[in-house]
Each structure stands twice: as C-alpha cells, then as structure tokens.
Amino acid sequence: MGVSAIAPAAAPPSAPLTIHSAGDVLSEMYCLLDTLLTAATPEEPYSLALRRVLQAAHASEAHGFPLALLPLLTCQAAGGDPLAALPAAAAWRALHIGLKLLDDVEDGDVARLNDDANPAQVINLSTGFLTAAQLALTRLPAATCTALQPDLLHTVLRMAAGQHRDLCRADQISLSNHWAVIEAKSGVFFALAASSGATCATLDVNEIARFQALGHHLGVLIQILDDWVDTHQTGGLSDLATGQPSLLVCYALTVASPSERERLQALLSCAPLDVEAERTARRLMAQLGCEAYIHGELTRYRRRILSIFGDNPALSPTVQPLYDWFLALDSTLSSRAMAVV
Amino acid sequence: MNTELAHIIHRAATSPQFHARLVNDYTAMLAEHKLQLSQEDTQVLKDVLAYISGHPAADQPTHTHTSARPGWDGGPSFTAAAI
C-alpha cells in the first residue's frame, strides 16, 4: 500500500488521551449511547433490553480491550481534540454491537449461546443499535455529520455485501473469496472507525485516507487472529465444530493435493459431531503448513500498519497513544491466540 | 493476497528440498517455476522461509514430494513465534 507516514500533529491543549486514561471518556461514550437508545421510549421493556445489551458491551470493553477508543485516538493523532470524536466513536460502537447481534442470528449462535434467547428479539434489538448509530452522528457539528453519514451507510452496505458473500459460499470455499470476505467485513469496518475519528479533526482527504488504510489493515489483522482462535477453540466452539469456513481451512483446502483435500473435506463434514474428526482435521491442516502461512500474513499486515506510522521511532505526543494502543491490541489478541493452542 | 504465494508457502513447509532451494536462491527458484511475486509478497516469503528454518518441523525426516508433513503439529511452544 502506497501510504505515506502519519504526519506529526499539533499537540492538543490538554494531556493526550491514552489507553490508560480513557476509562472516563469511554464511560461518557456509553452514557451518550444509553441516552440515544432509550430517550424515545424510556419506560418500555425494549429500552431495558437495549440497556442490558449496552451494559454487557461496556463490561466487555472494560475487561477486554477498548476497541471503541480507535476513533478518539485517530482524531487526536490527526490533530483534533479526542473528545470531539466522542459521537463518532459512539456511532461506530453502536454499529459494532448492532451488526454483531445480527451476525449471531445469521450464524445460528443465538440459541447456542443462550437457551432463552429469541432470534426475533435479537434482530429487533439490533434495529435499536443501528438506529442509535445514526442518531449519534447528529451530535457532531453539521458539516462533520454530513461528511460521515454516507461513510457509515456505505460501510454497512459493503459489510452486508461481505456477509452475503459469506452466507452464499457454502459449497464454494476458496482462499481468494475468504480474503474478500475478511476485507469486506472486518477491514472496511475498522477503516470506518479510524477514518471517522480523523474526519472529526481534519478536512485533509489524504490525511483521512492514511487513517482509513491504518484501520483497514488493523481490521484484517484482527480477523486473521480471530480465525486462528476460532479454528483452535475446544468444547464444540471451534469453526471446525460449527462448520464455519476460516482462513486456515480455506488455505488448507487450496494447497492440499486432491487426495488430501478429499480426506480433509470428509473430516470437516464429520467435525460438528465427532471430536476426533475435528482433532484430526486440525492436525492435517497444521501438517499442510497453516502455521507458516498465518505467520506470513500476520507479518504482512503488521508491517503495513507500522509503515503508516513511519520509520521515525520518536512519534509526536498526539500519535504515540494511537501507536501504543495498537501494540497493546496486538499483544492482547496474540496472547489470546496463543492460549488456545 | 495471492494464491500463488500460498502454494509456495505450502511447498516450502512440506518439502525440505524446496525450502532449501528457496533459501539458497529464491529469485532463481521463482524464475525457474515462472512465478512472479510482488515486492511485498517476496518480503512475506522471506519472512516465512526464515520462520520455517527455525521450526522443529524442519528437523523431521525429509520427504521427496510435497504432502502433509509431520512435525508442524508438534505442540504449542513454537506457535508463540507464529503469532
């Protein structure tokens, strides 16, 4: 990717926002979302249900990794006050939650995760979050809102296209198709997070494009590590056990000899009901070089991300927190990936 | 991402001879197989070759053909380096 390095931005008036000082800001963002979700129907059980989902999402960020900081940190790195991007971060997080709910329904995960859950209710809750995402943008200055609305809606359409491709490919697993799905679903989504934050700070389209590229590569990196984890989960939770295609499966089926492919396909078809078949499939995939392939692709995307930060080891005080956030994210996800094998 | 690179990585991971020839002179090897990689893919290939060189699977008995090779599923200790 021919993207030049992120330029040092002017220092904001107060101390920079960092991953360590972001707790209150994130709480403020979740408060804004709570207001947007419940203002129209404060007494309705629907609002209570939306609030429960929101609280679970907040808790997962508080105890996991604060992904919703990305728009705030890119705004800061582009020279803006990170708080100016709070509505953009809320919009992105609402979209994240709403699409995740839909994804769970489409993948058949709702009943698997919770016996009492009702897919129709989950779809209805998703409607609330997708609407709140658009409402959040109206809290931005008019010009920024006008600039970001089409970006958000186009992102939803691109992700839906990626999901459609994913849902329609049951018998057509291919490596190039899987990469297209990863880019459309995860790359495009994180590109929106990074570019929407930058848009709150600058009108410079080249600068915004740099952050968009950074977000895209981050999204792909996250998905590669997710695919690794999902392939190696145990207890009937792996992609092999649930019959979902993953990058590792697509790689293995692409490079295997005809006889190996036939054997792997037979194992994969038994894996949902046969733990030994799942284990053997995983072993065969490892023998075909999955580990080396994943290593190569992770290296590619890490290098792309680092090249956007530039070669200068001394980043400006406004860019450094974004860099530190990336290192912490990579470390967190990598530790998770190593823990499953 | 290109599928050609995936096939090269597979051959390097499953055939010690192929891997050794790539390490020795990947430019000549790619030309011999009429393979063209972008600058970025070439860098990825070099990273993967170095990675395979240090993997316990590289010490397994050699095969003369490219097929699934024991050794890659040797355990979690090396996986840390992959990720």
pLDDT digits 0-9 by tens, A203-238: 999 999 999 999 999 999 999 999 999 999 888 888
Going from the C-alpha of B20 to that of each of A260, B16, B37, B58, B60, the distances in angstroms are 24, 6, 19, 10, 14
**What b/e string do you get for A43-64 counting C-beta neighbours within 10 Å, with b at 16 or more?**
eeebbebbeebbeebbeebeee
Residues 6+ apart with CB under 8 A from A271: A240, A241, A243, A277, A278, A281
Q: Are B68 and A251 within 8 A, CB to CB?
A: no
Question: Is pLDDT at A5 greater than 80 in this prediction?
Answer: no
pLDDT value of position B62: 45
pLDDT in tens, B31-54: 988 888 999 999 999 999 999 887
Confidence at A135, pLDDT banded by 50, 70, 90? very high
Question: Is pLDDT at A269 greater than 80 in this prediction?
Answer: yes
Give the pTM: 0.90
Asked if B83 contacts A294 with a C-beta cutoff of 8 angstroms, the reply is yes
Mean pLDDT of A84-90: 98
Nearest CA in chain B to A288: B68
Looking at per-residue pLDDT, the higher value among B82 and A174 belongs to A174
**Min Cα–Cα distance to chain A from B17, Å:** 15
Nearest to A332 by CA among A60, A126, A105, A64: A64
Looking at per-residue pLDDT, the higher value among A339 and A135 belongs to A135
Nearest to A86 by CA among A36, A129, A11: A36
Confidence at B83, pLDDT banded by 50, 70, 90? low
Mean pLDDT of A104-114: 73
Joined together, the tokens standing for residue A256 give 């295997």
pLDDT value of position B78: 52
Q: Are A287 and B69 within 8 A, CB to CB?
A: yes
Confidence at B64, pLDDT banded by 50, 70, 90? very low
pLDDT in tens, A39-65: 999 989 999 999 999 999 999 888 889
CB atoms closer than 10 angstroms to residue A9 = 19
Nearest CA in chain A to B70: A287
pLDDT value of position A170: 63
Nearest CA in chain A to B69: A287
Binning chain A into helix, strand and coil, the percentages to the nearest 5 are 75, 0, 25
What is the separation of C-alpha A143 from the centre of its chain, rounded to a whole number of angstroms?
27
As a whole number of Å, the end-to-end CA separation of chain B is 18
Say if the ipTM goes beyond 0.90: no
Instruction: Please list every residue in chain B whose beta carbon sits closer than 8 Å to the beta carbon of residue A294.
Output: 82-83
**Min Cα–Cα distance to chain B from A192, Å:** 22
Name the average pLDDT for chain A: 91
